[in-house]
Amino acid sequence: MTFAIAFPMIDPVAVQLGPIAIRWYALAYIVGLVGGWHYIKYLTKKFPGNITHEHVDDFLFWATIGVVIGGRLGYVLFYNLDYFAANPGAILQVWKGGMSFHGGFLGVVVAAILFCKKHKLPMMTFGDLIACGAPIGLFFGRIANFANSELYGRETDVAWGVIFPNGGPNPRHPSQLYEAAMEGLILFIIMFIISRRETLRHSSGLFIGLFIAGYGIARSIVETVRQPDAHIGYLSGGSTMGQWLSIPMILIGIALMVMALRKNKEEA
């Protein structure tokens, strides 16, 4: 007999105010952004660069716009271009799901570059701060994916398999929760421990590299049990689009860490 966990039947609408519906999906993203924002404000006192709470407050809006626009455009371009080219109106229907982390990441990078240029802030140090708070947003974002019954895993017979309402009759890996644990909780703990060392906080670019590489590695691992999008399927050698997009992140992240540590050693 195969054991399975029934998907929790939670009303997707958290609050209904007349015609306005506030969904748990949206709230999870908001909590992630706000949680990361408060943690970054806490870290500004510890990192160099004279970055203030006011800078972090102002950037929250920029980051939100970067995540939403970048995440949606990334999904449109990387995962389902043919469909959205034929149905351009669907691009704005974000509440139906369909966000790409890689696109959202690029959106925040662009927002951070523009923000740092406007306020004349040290770009790499500011990026390190953002990277330290990013796993919090990822954690709640993946919880949102689970609540929305999207991006679930492949069919499985493990005891913790979940029967998703739109995933067929067989239990599947709750890959969203795996990602919440690896990309969110575990990566946050690693970065938190490393950020406690003052010498490493002065290695500009180290935390950006650690986050990028850490995410790429975690995503590549989870992709081995995550169900690929039906319209894309498996790529060369049984790989997935998520793994291919993560490879350059791992390489760039490692390169950034090596350069940051090398520069810190030379300046010591």
Task: Classify residue 118 by burial, with Cβ atoms within 10 Å: 0-12, 13-18, 19+.
Answer: exposed
142 is annotated as contributing to ligand binding: yes
Q: Judge contact between 249 and 103, C-beta under 8 A.
A: no
HEC readout, 160-211:
CCEECCCCCCCCECCHHHHHHHHHHHHHHHHHHHHHCCHHHHCCCCHHHHHH
User: What secondary structure letter does DSSP report for 3?
Assistant: -
Q: Are 131 and 211 spatial neighbours (Cβ–Cβ below 8 Å)?
A: yes
The 10 Å Cβ neighbour count of residue 220 is: 19
Burial 140-149 (b: 16+ CB within 10 A, else e): bbbbbbbbbb
- Quick check: 99 and 75 in contact, CB under 8 A? yes
Report d(CA 251, CA 264) in Å as an integer. 20
User: Which is nearest to 76 in space by CA: 50, 104, 49, 54?
Assistant: 104
Binding site, by residue number, is 142
